[in-house]
Amino acid sequence: MLAGVLLAVAAGAAEQETAELDKLKAQVGRLYQEGRYADAVPLAARAVELGEELLGPEHPDVARSLNNLANLYQDTGDYAKPGCLGLLRSSDVAQARSAGDPVALR
């Protein structure tokens, strides 16, 4: 019985984190559309972190979040961020492409 309760609590926590990730990505998109790039950067960085925790670092959604963050750094002129131009490892892009990810195919 205790195991069932713990599983239910863990499932609820995972749903909340997934909802938080979706909310973050929507906020980043809205701020980007409004031209508020600097305001979007910390939210985009959090989306990358949370996506890696929930989905794993090799997931195509995480690659998209990394790409969005790199674009925000570029749009704010912050080229000095570590790895800004190389946020996406070539292996991540290659893996996403091999999986048929339409975003990575561009």
56-90 pLDDT per residue, tens: 988 999 999 998 998 898 898 876 665 554 555 54
Give a yes or no: residue 104 inside a domain. no
Q: In which band, very low, low, confident or very high, does the pLDDT at 105 lie, cut at 50, 70 and 90? A: very low
Please name which of 46, 87, 39 lies closest in space to residue 63, comparing C-alpha atoms.
Answer: 87
Residue 105 domain flag:
no
67/95: higher pLDDT: 67
Containing structural domain, residue 10? 2-98
Q: Is the pLDDT of residue 92 over 70?
A: no
Is the pLDDT confidence value at 15 over 90? no
Higher pLDDT, residue 36 or 67: 36
Position 94 in a domain: yes
* 21 falls within a domain: yes
Domain total for the chain?
1
Alpha helices (runs of H) in the chain, residue ranges in sequence order: 2-33, 37-55, 60-75, 90-98
